[in-house]
Amino acid sequence: MSIRRLRISQLRNIRQAELELGRVNLLSGPNGSGKTSVLEAVFVLGSGRSFRAARLDPVIHHDASQFTVFASLQGEGNDGAPIAIGVSRSRDGNFAGRIQGQAIRNSAELARRLPLQLINSDTFDLLVGGPKVRRQFLDWGVFHVEHGFHRTWLDVHRCLRQRNALLRHDRIPAVELEIWNSQLVESAAQLDEMRQHYFDAFHPIFLQTLRELLSLDGLELAYQRGWDRGRSLEAVLAEQIEKDRVRGFTQSGPHRADVRVRLRGINAAEVLSRGQQKLVGAAMKLAQGRLFSARQGRDCVFLVDDLPSELDRVHRRQLCQLLGGMRCQVLLSCVDASELSGCWDGLAANEMKLFHVEHGALSAAK
Ligand SMILES: Nc1ncnc2c1ncn2[C@@H]1O[C@H](COP(=O)(O)OP(=O)(O)OP(=O)(O)O)[C@@H](O)[C@H]1O
Ligand SMILES: [Mg+2]
């Protein structure tokens, strides 16, 4: 899967832009020119949200009433015909997405059609951030490879909402609590099994990818399901009911799952340098892309914002080599293309496209 043509209108400082993309696309230009905005546009197209704003209002050009992003995706339709996918968001809050002219029901449809992996300054959060970031990371993979994940995830969160509402009653109705407990236990077991299954496939690919990026012996990931390993969730919920009641929410369950990153048993965030953190995070994303391709027989699109930052020449090159060596499409940004010169050997000239970005205008560079 790759984006053949991309059209952006009234998004951040980009008034109008139309790009014919190649396999590896390098966007360069000065600070504030609009490089990240191009990646953001693709991200909105594949997820319905921005990676740097909680809401989509700030993403609309400040003089405009709505933004639109449109792409034609290569080889997605029957007999390999391109697929049209588009989104728009207006100031009145209306978000609309269309795939082949048909209105979408939810943004999961966008994600299925245009699976993305983002490597940017937030990638550090995979190590230094809270469990939520790593849980979302894990769930991206499970969503794409385990059939039924989305449904089960929704079930778990519906049970949790209901159970948490009951916990805030003065007197908890025992029968109702019992019902939601048992539904939660059942959906949680399914979710845990899917996550564990995915993680078991992911971990060796991650370790291999990491070895290709940097030498860092003793780094490992461990999946934690969100409640004690040796005990049933049923028993944990029963034991913690008083604490849950006092706090007004369920403290153990799959909503507390995590993927711990440890170097010889110590939290990796406490020992790794910034550059090492970025590379470990990038290895996690690359490994997820590799597993996705192996399972789905199609590829996700990689968005890499400000690739050179924090990385020395050797590791910039390693990362570019890995990205260049995958089949997947890559859009990456840097201030000056020369920062990545000499990083792409092995990549055929026709596989790479350079774009210059200046004041929100994009042009194909020579
Ligand atoms: N809603 C908006 N309307 C118009 N312009 C905006 C809006 N939001 C942000 N901008 C401007 O758009 C530009 C795009 O910024 P962007 O982050 O894409 O730049 P960049 O090329 O990635 O820069 P850097 O190299 O500093 O990361 C900035 O100059 C910013 O001030
Ligand atoms: Mg930027």
> What is the CATH number for 2?
3.40.50.300
For residue 271, is it within any domain? Answer: no
Q: Given this model, what pLDDT does residue 366 score?
A: 65
278 contacts 306 by C-beta, under 8 angstroms: no
For residue 282, is it within any domain? Answer: no
Written as six digits, the tokens of 192 are 């845990």
- Classify each residue of 204-235 as buried b or exposed e, where b means 16 or more C-beta atoms within 10 Å of its C-beta: ebbeebbeebbeeeebebebbbbbeeeeebbe
Q: Find the ligand nearest to 13 CA.
A: 1
Residue position matching structure tokens 């059942």: 186
Number of domains in the chain: 1
What are the C-alpha distances in Å from 248 to residues 226, 296, 327?
18, 41, 48
Which three-class secondary structure state does DSSP give residue 31?
Answer: coil
Which three-class secondary structure state does DSSP give residue 261?
Answer: strand
The side-by-side arrangement of strands in the sheet containing 219-224 is 219-224, 258-263, 266-267
Give me the helices (H) in the chain, please: 35-47, 107-113, 125-128, 131-145, 149-167, 174-213, 233-239, 241-247, 274-296, 313-325
Ligand 1 probe mutation, 33, 52, 332, most atoms within 8 A of CB: 33
Q: Find the ligand nearest to 360 CA.
A: 1
274 contacts 310 by C-beta, under 8 angstroms: yes
Q: What are phi and psi of 328, to 5 degrees?
A: -70, 160
pTM: 0.95
CA of 38 to the centre of ligand 1 (A): 10
251 contacts 163 by C-beta, under 8 angstroms: no
Atom in ligand 1 nearest the alpha carbon of residue 64: 3
Asked whether 308 lines ligand 1 (CB < 6 A), one says no
Asked whether 335 lines ligand 1 (CB < 6 A), one says yes
CA of 40 to the centre of ligand 2 (A): 10
Distance CA 185, CA 174 (A): 16
For residue 20, is it within any domain? Answer: yes
For residue 253, is it within any domain? Answer: no
Residue position matching structure tokens 């010169």: 341
For residue 35, is it within any domain? Answer: yes
Question: 105 is in which domain, residue-wise?
Answer: 1-115+300-366
Distance CA 273, CA 315 (A): 13
Asked whether 31 lines ligand 1 (CB < 6 A), one says yes
Q: Which residue has its alpha carbon closest to ligand 1 atom 28?
A: 32
pLDDT tens over the chain, length 366 residues: 899 999 999 999 999 999 999 999 999 999 999 999 999 999 999 999 999 999 999 999 999 999 999 999 987 656 778 999 999 999 999 999 999 999 999 999 999 999 999 999 999 999 999 999 999 999 999 999 888 999 999 999 999 999 999 999 888 888 999 999 999 999 999 999 999 999 999 999 999 999 999 989 999 999 999 999 999 999 999 999 999 999 999 999 999 999 999 999 999 999 999 999 999 999 999 999 999 999 999 999 999 999 999 999 999 999 999 999 998 999 999 999 999 998 998 899 899 999 999 999 999 986
Which three-class secondary structure state does DSSP give residue 265?
Answer: coil
* Residue 132 neighbours by CB distance under 10 Å: 13
Distance CA 36, CA 118 (A): 11
Q: Given this model, what pLDDT does residue 78 score?
A: 65
Bridge partners, 90 (sequence order): 66
Q: Which residue has its alpha carbon closest to ligand 1 atom 9?
A: 12
Q: Given this model, what pLDDT does residue 173 score?
A: 86
- Classify each residue of 29-51 as buried b or exposed e, where b means 16 or more C-beta atoms within 10 Å of its C-beta: beeebbbbbbbbbbbbbbbbbbb
- Residue 170, judged by CB atoms within 10 A of its CB (0-12, 13-18, 19+), counts as exposed
Asked whether 66 lines ligand 1 (CB < 6 A), one says no
For residue 217, is it within any domain? Answer: no
* Residue 133 neighbours by CB distance under 10 Å: 19
For residue 290, is it within any domain? Answer: no
Atom in ligand 1 nearest the alpha carbon of residue 33: 21
Cβ within 8 Å of residue 4, ≥6 positions away? 20, 21, 71, 72, 73, 74, 82
Asked whether 22 lines ligand 1 (CB < 6 A), one says no
For residue 344, is it within any domain? Answer: yes
